[in-house]
Amino acid sequence: MVERKKGAIVNIGSGAAIVIPSDPLYAVYAATKAYIDQFSRCLHVEYKKSGIDVQCQVPLYVATKMASIRRSSFFVPSTDGYARAALRWIGYEPRCTPYWPHTLLWGLACSLPESVVDAWRLRFCLRIRKRGQLKDSSRKQE
Ligand SMILES: NC(=O)c1ccc[n+]([C@@H]2O[C@H](COP(=O)([O-])OP(=O)(O)OC[C@H]3O[C@@H](n4cnc5c(N)ncnc54)[C@H](OP(=O)(O)O)[C@@H]3O)[C@@H](O)[C@H]2O)c1
């Protein structure tokens, strides 16, 4: 890319590190995503003059196996929907949220006090853990 003086690198971060102030019970995940964000930002500045665009995309929920979400919805795009939006953003900002309904949620998260978002997220993640523990124990009983 440096020799050709052009190229694009897209790294996938997460709203877990950028949009919400904390992601309790997902501490390692959120921390690695914060790393990717800053890593991408530094490379963006280093390589801008070489014609290489380094971008960190920050999605919120997308309907994938990892997120355990089967159906897409207005705020949760399918992989195709996300990819279509993602491609349009390559080469623009060093950090972006390509799927516009995610931008609305980002705005909402920023407008609330951090303590409120922290408390909501902790409750939300505790519920996910509880569901997982119940699934585990019923599997063991079977
Ligand atoms: N889905 C969301 O809501 C969401 C939100 C924010 C950010 N992200 C980010 O988006 C990226 C893609 O995730 P996704 O949601 O698309 O999940 P996904 O559909 O489950 O895909 C994850 C991919 O990573 C591969 N993978 C998992 N562990 C691996 C390992 N140890 N070594 C090599 N490959 C491995 C999987 O391979 P196999 O198919 O072979 O298992 C799969 O191709 C991730 O970086 C995630 O953090 C996702």
Domains defined for the chain, CATH in brackets = 7-141 (3.40.50.720)
Cα 40 to averaged position of ligand 1 atoms, centre (Å): 18
What percentage of the chain's residues is helix, strand, coil (to nearest 5)? 55, 10, 35
Residues 70-108 pLDDT 10s = 999 999 999 999 999 999 999 999 999 999 999 999 999
CA of 12 to the centre of ligand 1 (A): 10
Q: At residue 11, what is the residue type?
A: N
5-36 per-position pLDDT tens digit: 999 999 999 999 999 999 999 999 999 999 99
CA gap 82, 10 in Å, rounded: 14
- Rounded CA gap, 76 and 99, in Å? 9
Query: In a mutational test of the pocket of ligand 1, which residue from 37, 66, 79 has the highest number of ligand atoms less than 8 Å from its CB?
Result: 66
Residue among 11, 29, 64, 102 to mutate when testing ligand 1 (max atoms within 8 A of CB):
64
